[in-house]
Amino acid sequence: MRDFLSDKAKKLKPSGIRKFFDIVSERKDVISLGVGEPDFITPWDIREAGIQTIKRGYTQYTSNKGLVGLRQEIVDYLRCNYNVDYSVDDTMITVGASEAIDLILRATVNPGDEVLVPDPSYVSYKPCVELNGGVAVSVPCDGENGFKLTRKNLEKVVTKNSKILIFPYPNNPTGGIMEKEFIDEIVPFIIEHDLLVVSDEIYAELTYGREHCSIASVEALKDRVVLISGFSKAFAMTGWRVGYVCAPKPILDTMLKIHQYAIICAPIFSQYAALEGLKKGKLNGYKDIKEMRAEYDRRRKFMHKTFTEMGLSCFEPKGSFYIFPSVKETGLTGEEFATKLLEQEKVAVVPGDAFGEFGKYYVRCSYAYSMKNLVEATERIARFVKGLKG
């Protein structure tokens, strides 16, 4: 019998955290700071809307692009909150933002095309690029500089084959954001090199102290930004699998083509539930999101203070629900730190190199956990760090 696997699939590296995940799973009584989803459950109104959809017998496919009512609400939401202007026709509902990321790369990457990916960032971009025969090129984002994307660092890696820039802000794992002034700094570069910007804004609602600035709101970049977002993080709807993409017409139409064949549509009850979330939010000032954000903010301050007091150099995160302390002072790499920490104190954090080579001396800790858990976990980490120094 022959080997049925495709070369591309075989070449794909397994997830950087797979190995670590397997080790963690075998341990009992581990306090984990390793998850990438909210600890809140979906607000009641939204759940109720989903339930009613099923009760009423809405169990069939929606149109490929998704419920027009939901697309309209999304367009209004983006316009009102982020000054971003897309039409209902150029908006599509996807199975989570994850599908949108996959689709855009499938729609645009030719073999040999280079895709600039900030490093460190979310684990899925590079594999999706490679699955399409593209080349993922890391753009270093310095910890000393808030992990921002800079013209200087982009210039170091851009070539004539560079076609796409992945722009994931607020950022997983670093918690970094790109304020308007820093976006403006790279706009000429993007135009000069004729790049398509894929803006993954899944954490847009979770910024602290400053509202999110979408790169899609930059007039000069009109027609070259694909905006991807969803309901998983801000609305605590990770399991519902509902996200969206807004793109210039030729790109959206091509993504639609692929989506029609591969997926057909996102789940109908998830779409109705998301619609309820947006409608209710509009009426009550997005009360639920604001409450969750306030709670995350409290935990964020606690985590930053605690890691700093431990003597670890730690960037104060401005978005998402992750904190990314450097463990360089301990003399260990992120992976070594995480492994030893797990063995000695039964706390699981994610090694930074899972997110790119420039994450090598960092670990990612999620604060999507109760305060009680965070207090316990950080005490154990502090004890561990003290032990390393002593």
Partner 1 sequence: MKNLKNQLVELLSENARYTFSQLASITGESLAQVEKAVSELEESGIITKYSAIINTEAMDQENRKVQALIEVKVAPQKLKGFDSYAEEIYSFKEVQSLYLMSGGFDLAIFVEGKNITDIAMFVSEKLSVIDGIASVQTHFILKKYKIEGHITNPNKESERQIIQA
Residues with Cβ within 8 Å of residue 301, at least 6 apart in sequence: none
Closest CA to 235 of 74, 62, 60, 58: 74
Q: How far is the CB of 190 from partner 1 (least distance, A)?
A: 27
- With b for 16 or more beta-carbon neighbours within 10 A and e for fewer, the 129-164 pattern comes to bbbbebbbbbbbbebeebbbbbbebbeeebeeebbb
Specify the residue, 70 or 348, whose C-beta has the smaller distance to partner 1. 348
Dihedral (CA of 285, 290, 291, 292) sign? positive
Residues lying near partner 1 in the complex (CB under 8 A): 15-17, 20-21, 24-25, 30, 32, 34-37, 39, 122-124, 172, 298, 301-302, 305-306, 309, 348, 350, 354-355, 371-372, 375
Q: Residue 184 or residue 379: which is nearer to partner 1 going by CB?
A: 379
C-alpha dihedral sign at 176, 179, 182, 184: positive
Q: Which of 126, 221, 223, 218 is nearest to 179 (CA)?
A: 218
| Smaller CB separation from partner 1, 81 or 124 | 124
Give the distance between the most distant pair of CA atoms in the chain. 64
- Residue 339: both structure tokens together: 């492994």
**Would you say 90 or 130 has its CB closer to partner 1?**
130
Q: From the CB of 371, what's the least distance to partner 1, in Å?
A: 6
Smallest distance, partner 1 to C-beta of residue 121, A:
10
CB of 315 to partner 1, least distance (A): 18
Question: Which residue, 178 or 347, is less far from partner 1 as judged by CB?
Answer: 347
Residue 364 CB, nearest distance to partner 1 (Å)?
A: 9
| CB of residue 329 to partner 1, shortest distance in Å | 20
Q: How far is the CB of 355 from partner 1 (least distance, A)?
A: 8
Name the residue nearer to partner 1 (CB basis): 56 or 305. 305
162's CB contacts (< 8 A; 6+ apart) are: 114, 115, 116, 137, 193, 195
> Distance (Å, rounded) from C-alpha 114 to C-alpha 133?
10
CB of 51 to partner 1, least distance (A): 17
Toward partner 1, which CB reaches closer, 179 or 316? Answer: 316
175: left (phi over 0), alpha (psi -120 to 50) or beta: left
CA distance 166 to 217: 16
Question: Which residue, 16 or 66, is less far from partner 1 as judged by CB?
Answer: 16
Q: At what angle do helices 68-82 and 268-284 cross, to 10 degrees?
A: 40
Distance between CA atoms of 364 and 370, rounded to whole angstroms? 17
